[in-house]
Amino acid sequence: IKAISLALKQYPILNSQLSADQSQIIYKAAHNIGIAMDTPQGLIVPNIKNVESKSILEIAQELTRLMDLGASGKLGVNDLKGGTFSISNVGVIGGTYASPVIVPPEVCIGAIGKMQKVPRFDKEDNVVAVHIMTMSWSADHRIVDGASIARFSNLVKQYIEEPASMLMHAK
């Protein structure tokens, strides 16, 4: 979640929305990142407010709070409104890939697949075990081009693979 927020600072177009008359792009300063949750009441997407100004520990605490409330059916309206970007962790239930559906007025959503141990070749062409995790993205192409999404995805990947680089920029 923090890696996505840090990448949104570099690609703010992904944290925007169209005006009601669709004549302007409105950039959102707050990173209110929605987390799709499978609950007894069905799929819901509460959001963690102001991720850009939260530490990783604060994000984890807020995620736990939202998950507990979601599981007990006690999320409030404020927890569900105001999202600016969403992610879905299909890996939690064993999924590897997804085609996530954008939640208007947001312009981008990501789906995170499960971590898998797979064989790959190293620099000397030896087969080695590596861990991979897929991320799938969907975006409103009236606003966002595919190259920007790819660059954003590469930055998120860098932050996840090299946490020290992420921590240098995080609160």
pLDDT at 165: 86
In the set 21, 68, 141, 169, the catalytic residue is 141
pLDDT at 103: 86
pLDDT at 171: 56
Whether 145 is catalytic = yes
Distance CA 49, CA 32 (A): 4
pLDDT at position 170 over 70: no
Whether 169 is catalytic = no
For 37, 41, 166, 171, the CA distances from 55, given in Å and listed in that order, are 22, 30, 11, 5
- Chain mean pLDDT for the chain: 93
In the set 31, 125, 145, 169, the catalytic residue is 145
